[in-house]
Amino acid sequence: MIQLENVTFAYDERPILKNVSFSIDETESVVIMGPSGSGKSTILRLIMGLECPQEGKILVDDANICVMNERQKQEVRKRIAMVFQEGALFDSLTVGENVGFYQIEHTRMSRSEIEQNVRQMLGFVGLRADEIIDVLPDQLSGGMRRRVAIGRALLSTNPRVMLYDEPTTGLDPEATEMVLELINKATVERNISTVVVTHQIPDAIALANRFIVIHGGEMVFDGDLDALRVCDEPRVRDFLQPFRESIGKVNQRQFV
């Protein structure tokens, strides 16, 4: 479904990614992890067509997004939704307006139809619509804002792929647990592919059945949890060292 082929990308001649290649199949759950500044978030922006590599291809359903015009990219983005760091909600819009933003701006649905969809989506992400639909984002906790952002992305175009950029950063343990459960719920119940960028190893284990490690812009690992536990690649070993005990003990969450 999504394929990166020998992707190299730089900002102002500063190398970010070097010859990165991997593919993501339908309904697969993949975590991309690595040290800060390794190029993880850039991969998500490339998949969305927000950036274009200097070398290589990025294929979505066998079509190269790198050679598309903006109108064509918009069509691809109807299949892919992204939850940015911190949620990136519109501060001046209510929760309901945030969640229903795409349908308000890009469809001819009635306000009552949109509100019904918004309320259903707020229920899906574990929030009480009657309590927060008219509330502004700055009145919500960090975990609630993150769940609203996920709801907005899911309601946008009923995507087949969800991209998450550091979805639990800055959250307390309880809020983190709720967001992780919601991501897994969306993956399973909506039968979609999930790609998560994180440097939180326990979160990665809770979410993924496949792990990609990026270090210094290079892909240094691609495999499952068992392979990750025994990987002897020095850059992978050094990155995982603080988490070795948790990796050895924690089992992956079952996707059922």
Rg (CA), the chain: 18
Average of per-residue pLDDT across 134-159: 94
Q: Coil, strand, or helix at residue 235?
A: helix
The model's confidence at residue 101, banded by pLDDT at 50, 70 and 90, is very high
Of 166, 163, 199, the C-alpha closest to 36 is 199
Average of per-residue pLDDT across 175-197: 95
Residue 196 sits in a domain of what CATH number?
A: 3.40.50.300
Within-domain flag for 61: yes
Q: How many CB atoms lie within 10 A of CB 134?
A: 11
Tokens of 7: 């992707």
Question: pTM for this one?
Answer: 0.91
Would the pLDDT of 137 be above 50?
yes
Within-domain flag for 221: yes
Would the pLDDT of 254 be above 60?
no
CA distance 247 to 241: 10
Residues 6+ apart with CB under 8 A from 16: 9, 10, 39, 42, 217
Cα separation values, 29 from 34, 160, 206, Å: 17, 12, 11
Query: Domain of 25?
Result: 1-79+191-256
Cα separation values, 77 from 50, 129, 223, 242, Å: 10, 27, 27, 37
Average of per-residue pLDDT across 199-212: 91
Within-domain flag for 28: yes
Cα separation values, 119 from 1, 6, 101, Å: 31, 43, 13
Of 164, 245, 237, the C-alpha closest to 202 is 245
Q: List pLDDT tens digits, range 62-98.
A: 999 999 999 999 898 889 999 988 778 999 999 999 9
Q: List pLDDT tens digits, range 157-171.
A: 889 999 999 999 999
Percent of the chain with pLDDT over 90: 77
Look at the chain and report how many structural domains it folds into.
1
Average of per-residue pLDDT across 90-113: 94
Output helix, strand, coil percentages for the chain, rounded to the nearest 5. Answer: 45, 25, 30
Within-domain flag for 120: no
Report pLDDT for 88. Answer: 86
Within-domain flag for 184: no
Tokens of 203: 């979160």
Would the pLDDT of 12 be above 60?
yes
Mean pLDDT of the chain: 91
Report pLDDT for 255. Answer: 41
Of 150, 144, 143, 132, the C-alpha closest to 94 is 132
Position 16, amino acid: I
211, containing H or E segment: strand 210-215
Within-domain flag for 249: yes
Per-residue buried b or exposed e for 22-48, using 16+ beta carbons within 10 Å of the residue's own CB: bebeebbbbbbbbeeebbbbbbbbbbb
